[in-house]
Amino acid sequence: MSIHRLNRSENGLVRVRYQQTLLAGFLLVVVSLMGEGLLTANESLSESEEVTTKVTVSTKSVQVAEPFQAEIRITAPAGAKVSFPELGNAWGAFDVLEHKDQFDVPAVDGSGMRSWFRRLTLETISTGDLELPSLEIQVRTGASDTASVVRTDAQKIQVMSVLESQSDPLQFRDIKGIVNLEIPEPASYAWAWWLAGGMGGALMLGLAALVLAKKRQWNSPGQWARKEIQQLRDTDAFSNGDVDFCVDRMDQILRSFLEWEFAIPAANWTPREILSSLEQQLHNSESSALQCLASWFDRAEQAKFAGAVSCFGNLEQSTVDLQRLVEHLESDHLSNDVTDVLSSAEGEL
């Protein structure tokens, strides 16, 4: 009986030792595989450390719908395989107009490294501080089948509206007046009626022009301008303080006076063109009348184009200033004509 129990005890001990041996072998295999995995991971990390990325843009500030260039460059050892992501028609908020890839370009320094390029032409209609987002690029180096992922740096791009570059909206360039464009009319069977109406209208306009010419012969340009200024004072718009209407009417009176007095197309000329012509006619670029005229044009443009109606806050005083300006220009023109006549007479003598 005791011998039987002893055999059973020995068999149990052998079984336990066999299980321990199997467990130790299994743990050894697991540790070996983990070690190989860590080694492979370390080797992959070491290889990925040789991969560099660089994103360059041609400018950091563009206007709306202004194309610019961006370049993505990946540098890796020879034999590497680089896979760029598919961007489609957009990269973030920017539209991709075109792109070109250039792969496996040897380094010029002889280091054995290679470069992969993607060059893009971009634009956007959005405004503000925008961003070219980071991209994930897969790189396989050496004989490894496992691809490592590298990320590019995001790029900040400022996109401005075409109106943002104007620093001072009150500083105007030389502004042309209103230009009337002729709109061609399609031919019709009523051409005879149009012809008859046109001839009648031309006749009426000719008669009106003849009457106006005879009427203007009775008055000098200065007298006509003073009369028109007085008629403006008698209007309801002047009494009600309608600055926009009064400024526009005073500008018309002044330009008509200049056309009549100096024989120039003042209605279609810019202030700069008018002043340049008067300087030549008066032979005096420092004339106080021309300085007053330049100041008047500046105030009128501020009121009409910038809404600075405060330049003509006192309409009564503005009409007085306009009348004095007309008289001053008329006087300078007359004095210059007399001087020219005397100079011509002296030359003949």
Average pLDDT estimate for 125-131? 92
pLDDT in tens, 300-329: 888 777 666 666 668 888 888 888 988 988
pLDDT of 318 reads 85
pLDDT in tens, 247-277: 888 889 989 999 988 889 988 898 889 888 8
pLDDT of 27 reads 58
pLDDT in tens, 190-248: 667 777 888 888 888 888 777 666 555 557 888 998 999 999 899 998 888 888 888 88
Nearest to 326 by CA among 257, 228, 236: 257
Is the pLDDT reported for residue 169 higher than 90? no
Bigger pLDDT: 121 or 338? 121
- Evaluate whether 69 touches 127 at the Cβ level (below 8 Å): no
Is the pLDDT reported for residue 31 higher than 50? no
pLDDT band, residue 142 (cuts 50/70/90) = confident
- Evaluate whether 76 touches 116 at the Cβ level (below 8 Å): yes
Per the rule left: phi > 0, alpha: psi between -120 and 50, beta: everything else, 184 is beta
Structure pTM? 0.40
Classified by CATH at the fold level, domain 52-160 comes out as Immunoglobulin-like (2.60.40)
pLDDT of 300 reads 82
pLDDT of 41 reads 32
pLDDT in tens, 48-68: 458 899 999 999 999 999 999
Alpha-carbon dihedral of residues 107, 78, 96, 161, nearest 10 degrees? -40
pLDDT of 57 reads 96
Residue 211, both tokens:
């009457």
Alpha carbons 107 and 78: distance in angstroms, whole number = 10
Residue 127, both tokens:
């405004």
Is residue 256 exposed (0-12), middle (13-18) or buried (19+ Cβ within 10 Å)?
A: middle
Residue 306, both tokens:
């910038």
| DSSP run (H or E) holding 301 | helix 288-306
Nearest to 254 by CA among 271, 237, 279, 273: 271
pLDDT of 188 reads 62
3-state secondary structure of 144: coil
Bigger pLDDT: 320 or 189? 320
Bigger pLDDT: 22 or 328? 328
Average pLDDT, the chain: 78
Is the pLDDT reported for residue 94 higher than 90? yes
Is the pLDDT reported for residue 345 higher than 50? no
The domain segmentation of the chain, as residue ranges, is: 52-160, 190-218, 220-348
Write the CB contacts of 333 (distance below 8 Å, at least 6 apart in sequence).
261, 262, 281, 282
Position 177: which residue type? Answer: G
pLDDT of 37 reads 39
CB atoms within 10 A of CB 75: 18
